[in-house]
A and B are shown apart, each in its own frame.
Chain A
């Protein structure tokens, strides 16, 4: 009986498919986790609206690339530009006023932003789901009886490129160094002539550009574009925490680990186990290493 225990027999090709599917899902989680990490690392804000930001990116991609039928590269440029502007607005309009406020107050603000985005998308786009994007190569090939989609490989490449870019940005650029300095000690950085306000604005803009890119990529692999895709934010949260909320590389590893674990839980235990298992892994990691696998523990001088 096929469903006698779990969902599968021990067919190796099925497990390989779960592994490949898990890595593909994990790459998306990594994109989202990068957004979490970028904001947290630079501003100490746990941005729970990041899933909605990504959803906004997916809907804008739909508008510019499908409805308006812009040239792909022009459309992506416009998408990222709009997201950048939106990031600046989030900072100058809202988050700037929250600097110095309590951690939970700021988290609640991000939840409020998430609610507003969901409502605006419902108002402007309506409740009906849309077909996913198909602008990137849609083909696939087989390895050991498992299907590998071209688009998944593209996502891997983009994620890897983003990580390298961020590493270089934080290490070699003036703005990147300013961001690290502000994250380390805002008062010392300000005393050295760094304007934390500008640094924060750039951080939100960069995070929003990442969300736009994530939305564009996720819009190619999700089954449909609708308002349920914001859940990717919550589902990628364990990935960011497992990797360490301050580690860019950790977010990648965390994303891949959580993606694979989710797929195997889904495949062998059933869909209801998928998120409990992912969050259990997060709890375990936090119990053993409260900063996540690659997170940094801040020293407090007393």
Chain B
């Protein structure tokens, strides 16, 4: 009798779980669903004519589409280097970040973008005739887990590079090891100052100092001159949050605006009542007219919902990291100011760039259909593409190792229009960024102004003067 009851209960619960899962299929994935359009095989699509200086790299990009590997003859010339993840049939490359923890809703897209790029690259024959073995390791935003993952990737898997190293507390902790191993880190999702101390980080995301400058430029444009700006920062209480807030303070003050102070939000906070009380006080007493925001998409939503609850709905917001996630616009309160921007350095596939068709095709191929409309996916996709070019360039030296790859990265790279052309020959930075918001028509992100609009705002100086 009891057994029958148990079976019935189990069936009912299973039904509830299935109903729950099915009821959310349309929401899964985070990025807004791709617009309904017939997919055309990428190989049949007409690629835009590359600029002369980029012709060679663009040809490489096309190779990925048609499977023509120009470097076939060279493949045999690059010896295996198993200590650096290069065997006769594969090249191992790692990724470290948060796939299932509190910042997974932004970082996981980054990994998916890389995976999608390599799915396509492997489909087209791999790189140098070798399959790319992509090894993403999930640390759930925990520095302890990240340390274990780093040891696994570098000592057991012996990866040749990391395409991303998420979490400022994690990259700070691992900085000495990254340097000691000569391990190139391509396109980390944060650009904190500790990364300036070494030679192994290659940033295609604008440095926090540059993003602060970009924010200052957007603020100035929105309030009729930076001298009219009274800015309050709201940051997640992690090292990158403190650093970004300090850079914004430095940038706003230097430009002639007023930075009133920073409110911090604990990771995992579900409400920000006290922070909103402070913001309201700043508005009432000091005329705060702009908010800068740092955090994960979840933290961003909590802050915006808090602003809506407190009736603070007419103050523009500009933020970084998760604030540039699609979900900020699709899930955030409608009453928040239309002047809400997320800063980032990459264009998504809806922006009609050279990579659009490939990004969409590869996202589908890898099982991440629709994610090509997410900025972090575009970042990951670009990381894969830059790695591809760098490996081929390193191979020209006759060996493929962490050292030769690091040297090869100190050059220029095509980006298929995802971001500005990369030039790491004089420094590991990208002075390329824009303020983004969601385009409801395509479900993807669009810049408020082209990259060139913000180029003049970057001062190219790194390192904080404000402690």
Contacts and interface: CB of A to CB of B under 8 A. Distances in A.
Contacts, number: 175
Contacts of B311: 140, 147
B269 interface: yes
Contact of B281 (A14, A120, A122, A140): A14
Nearest to B330: A131
B271 A25 contact: yes
A8 B277 contact: yes
B327 A147 contact: no
Interface string B250-266: 00000000001111111
Contacts of B264: 270-272
A93 B24 CA distance: 27
B20 A263 contact: no
Interface stretch (A160-168, A185-193, A216-224, A244-252): A216-224
27 contacts: A2-B281, A7-B274, A7-B278, A9-B285, A14-B277, A17-B277, A18-B273, A21-B273, A63-B20, A64-B23, A67-B23, A82-B13, A82-B16, A85-B12, A89-B9, A127-B105, A131-B331, A132-B305, A147-B310, A149-B309, A223-B305, A223-B306, A224-B305, A231-B270, A266-B275, A271-B275, A272-B264
Given A25-B273, A86-B13, A228-B102, A126 B30 contact: yes
Which of A24, A122, A232, A271: most chain B CB closer than 10 A? Answer: A271
A226 interface: yes
Contacts of A231: 268, 270
A85 B305 CA distance: 33
Nearest to B107: A127
B286 interface: yes
Contacts of A68: 19, 23
Interface in A82-110: 82, 85-86, 88-89, 92-93
Interface in A1-29: 1-3, 7-9, 11, 14, 17-18, 21-22, 24-25
Contacts of B395: none
Contacts of A1: 261
Contacts of A226: 105, 298
B412 to A, nearest CB: 35
B301 interface: yes
Interface string A254-267: 00000000010011
B21 interface: yes
Interface string B437-453: 00000000000000000
A218 B237 CA distance: 23
B104 interface: yes
A59 interface: yes
B302 interface: yes
A17 B311 CA distance: 13
A200 B230 CA distance: 59
A8 B281 contact: yes
What are the 8 tightest A-B residue pairs by CB atom distance, in nearest-first order?
Answer: A223-B302, A128-B30, A21-B273, A127-B104, A224-B301, A3-B261, A267-B274, A67-B23
Interface string B1-29: 01000100110110011011101101111
B108 interface: yes
A256 to B, nearest CB: 15
Given A3-B262, A7-B263, A82-B16, 8 more contacts: A22-B273, A63-B24, A89-B9, A128-B105, A131-B330, A223-B270, A270-B264, A271-B237
SS of B interface (majority): helix
B417 interface: no
Contacts of A227: 102
Interface in B279-319: 280-282, 285-286, 297-298, 301-306, 309-311
A128 B297 contact: yes
A125 interface: yes
A181 B101 CA distance: 42
A220 to B, nearest CB: 11
Contacts of A85: 9, 12-13, 16
Contacts of B297: 128-129, 224
Nearest to B302: A223
A68 B462 CA distance: 51
B281 A9 contact: yes
B282 A2 contact: yes
Which of A59, A63, A226, A227: most chain B CB closer than 10 A? Answer: A226
Contacts of A228: 102, 267-268, 270, 298
A73 interface: no
Nearest to B299: A223
Interface in A172-202: none
Interface string B317-360: 00000000001001111000000000000000000000000000
A221 to B, nearest CB: 7
Contacts of B271: 21, 25, 221-223
B272 interface: yes
B151 interface: no
A104 to B, nearest CB: 23
B100 interface: yes
Contact of B100 (A7, A67, A86, A122): A122
